[in-house]
Structure formats: structure tokens, C-alpha cells
Amino acid sequence: MTSEEITDLLTKAYVDEFETMMNYLANAIVLDGVHAEEVKESLEEDVQEELEHAQILGERLKQLDESPPGSEEFEARQTNLQPPADTTDVQSVIEGVLEAEEDAIETYRSLVEAASEANDPVTEDVAVTILADEEAHLTEFRGFEKAFPAEQ
């Protein structure tokens, strides 16, 4: 892997963290109903963690003599994580979160591999640390997915 491939993956992850943060916040605001409360609380907590991830990624880009992208370089991709028209549709939000977390995990695993091949232990460490957080989010929302149908 080249340093350009690493910075491309870092940039993708940076932008994805912002999109995820935006969608988590929107869903935490719009969801309604008793069944939504625990999911909303989790999303609100995750917003702060996703922001921290973006900050770490942006700082790593700067250390590699690159600039983190601004909003003009942003292209939304998370169609399944958009706030639902039915604000009580918690299940669709859970499914969207699972998809976003799986995508993030794939990106961070690719970054770990690329950084390892390029002998870039700092980027590898950043990717491993954030990967662990994303895997924890995935596990939490898999739990929501299992528990939710029983609550309806």
C-alpha cells in the first residue's frame, strides 16, 4: 500500500464519521415512543464518540501532511440511515445503524491492513483503536435488533 492509499482510507473514514454523526443525531432527535428511548440514548452517546473519531482521523491526516476534507468534498452515502418518515420506526433505524457500523468496520480493517503493509504503526494503532469502538457499537445494536421485536 502507498501513503496515498492510506490517506484515501483515512479521508473516507473521516467523512463517514461525520455522516454517521449527522444521521445518529437526526435519528436521536426524531424517534418517538417508549420503545425508542434506549436506542435514542445510545445514538446520542455515539454522536460524541463519532466526533472524537473524526477528530483523531483529521489529526492523523494533518500529521501525514494532508488536510481533512471540508463540506464541499462530502458526498452522502448512508441512504438506509436517514430518519424514518414514521418516527416510531425504530427497527429501520437499528438496521441502518448496523449497516453503517459494518461499513465502518470494513473501512477500518482495510486501514489496519494498509497501514501494516506500509509500515505505518501510528495509523495502524489509530485504526485498531477506532475499529474496537465500531465493533462495540455493532454488538450493542445487534442486541437492540434481537430485543426489539419482543418489545413491540
pLDDT range class, residue 106, cuts 50, 70, 90:
very high
Q: Which of 78, 80, 77, 93 is nearest to 29 (CA)?
A: 93
Question: CA-CA distance, 90 to 36, in Å (whole number)?
Answer: 6
The whole-number pLDDT of residue 26 equals: 98
Nearest in space to 82 (alpha carbons), one of 39, 19, 40 = 19
In this prediction, residue 1 has a pLDDT band, given cuts at 50, 70 and 90, of low
Question: pLDDT, tens digit, for every residue of 20-31?
Answer: 999 999 999 999
CA 24 to chain CA centroid, nearest Å: 9
pLDDT mean across residues, the chain: 94
- Domain spans in the chain, listed from the N-terminal domain onward: 3-151
Q: Which CATH class is domain 3-151?
A: mainly alpha
pLDDT band at 152 (very low <50, low <70, confident <90, very high): very low
Query: Residue 87 has what DSSP assignment?
Result: T
